[in-house]
Structure 1
Amino acid sequence: MSDERAPGSPRTAPEGDVLAELEAEVAEELAEERPPAGGPGYQIAGALVALVIGIAGAVLASGYGLGSPRDPGPGLWPFIISVGIAALGVLLLVFGRGLTDTEVFSRSSLLPLVGLATFFGVAVLLPVIGFEIPSLLLCLVWLRWLGGESWRTSIAVSVGTVAVFYVLFLYGLRIPLPHLIAL
C-alpha cells in the first residue's frame, strides 16, 4: 500500500482511523500557532548574527590558548566550533536569501540573546573564578528561566551536568580548565 500524499501533509482520516485524525488535528493547531513568515531580510539578519557570534566566540576561545592537536588547550574545541558557526553564517548569507523558513522576530526571539549573554558571562568568569560556579549558574539560568523547568529539576540537572563535565574535561580529557575544587 503506497502513501501518495505530499511529504509533511497530514493524512486524511478514513472511517475510524484515530491516528490520522489526531495527526490532522495537531498539524492544524501547529499551523495556527506558527508566527508569520519573515522575508529575505530576516535571513540576512540571522546570517549576520551567526557570523558575529562565530567570530566573537573564536576571539574569546583563542584567549584561552589553543594548544596543538597533540596537546589541546582549553580553547581549541570552542575555537573550532566558533569557526564552524561563522562559516555557516557566511553560507547562509550567500545562499540563504531565497529560503522561506524564517519567522518574524517577536518577544521569544530575545531568549537566544539571553542565552548568549549568559554563555559569554561564563567565558568572562571562567578564568577568574573557575569552571564550577559559572557553569552551574549557566545551567540553572538555561533550565529554569529559558527552559521553564522546575527548581528541583533545574538544580538536579545542573549539579549533575557540571559534575559530569568536571570529570570528563579535567580527568578524562586532561584539559587544564581553571577550577576551584581539586579532587
Structure 2
Amino acid sequence: MSDESTRGAPRPAAEGDILAELEAELAQELAEERPPAGGPGYQVAGALVAIVIGAAGMWLANGYGLGAPRAPGPGLWPFIISVGVTGLGVLLLVGGRGLQDTEIFSRSSVLPVAGLVTFVAMAFLMPLIGFEIPSLLLCFVWLRWLGGETWRSSIVISVATVAVFYVLFLYGLRIPLPHLISI
C-alpha cells in the first residue's frame, strides 16, 4: 500500500496512548471514591495509635520472655516487630504533620480495629482451646467480613491455611503450640 492510500484513514491509537487513557480513567475513579483529606490532626492521631499499639505489643511480648540472641524466647520476634511499629509511629508523629495523604476517619477505619480485636481474641483463646479453632475463626472473619470474600472461598482458604500452618508449626518447625488435634 502506498502512503497516499493510508493518509485519509485514521491511524490506530498507539498502545501507550491506550494505557495512558486507562491509567487516567482509573486515577479519576479512585479519586472519586477516596474519602476527603484529613489534615495534620489525623496524622497525629494515626501516629499516636501506632505508638500505643507498639508499646502494648512490647509489654505483652516481654511477658512471654525475650530470651537471649542465641536462645530466643517466644516473645523476641513480637517484641522486635513492636519496637518497629513504635518507631514508625514516632517518626510519623515527628515528621508526618506536613504530609497531605491522610484520610478522614470513616466506616472503613473500623476494619483495622476489628482486625486487631479479633487477633487479640485469638491470642487469649489459643491457650484455652488450642490453635485450631481460634486460627480458623480468625482467618474466616478476616476473609469474609474484613476482606469481603465469598462464603465458599472464605471457608476453603481458612481450612487450608490452618491445615498448612498446623503441619508447618507442629511438625515442620516443632513449635509446641497448644492444639486439640493430634496427627
TM-score over 0.5 for the alignment? yes
Residues 82-101 of structure 1 correspond to what in structure 2 (within 5 A)? Answer: 82-101=82-101
User: TM-score scaled by structure 1?
Assistant: 0.84
CA drift of 1:93 comes to 1.0
CA drift of 1:104 comes to 0.6
Residues 19-38 of structure 1 correspond to what in structure 2 (within 5 A)? Answer: 19-38=19-38
Using a 3 Å threshold, how does the CA distance of structure 1 residues 154 and 133 change in structure 2: closer, same or farther? same
Cα RMSD, aligned residues only: 1.9
Identity, in percent, stands at 78
Quote the residue 2:6 is aligned against: none
Between the two proteins, the alignment pairs up a number of residues equal to: 170
| 2:44 maps to amino acid | I
Q: Distance in 1 between the 2:24 and 2:102 partners?
A: 24
1:96-138 CA distance string (max 9 Å, x none): 1111110011111111111110011111112222221111111
1:141-171 CA distance string (max 9 Å, x none): 0000000101111111111211222222233
Unaligned runs of 5+ in 2: 1-10
Quote the residue 1:133 is aligned against: 133
Unaligned runs of 5+ in 1: 1-13
CA drift of 1:61 comes to 2.4
Residues 118-129 of structure 1 correspond to what in structure 2 (within 5 A)? Answer: 118-129=118-129
- Pick the structure with more helix per residue: 2
Q: 1:62 aligned to 2:62?
A: yes
Q: Distance in 2 between the 1:38 and 1:15 partners?
A: 43
1:22-63 CA distance string (max 9 Å, x none): 222111111111111111110110001111111112222233
Quote the residue 1:4 is aligned against: none
User: TM-score scaled by structure 2?
Assistant: 0.84
Q: Distance in 1 between the 2:152 and 2:158 partners?
A: 10
**CA radius of gyration, larger in:** 2
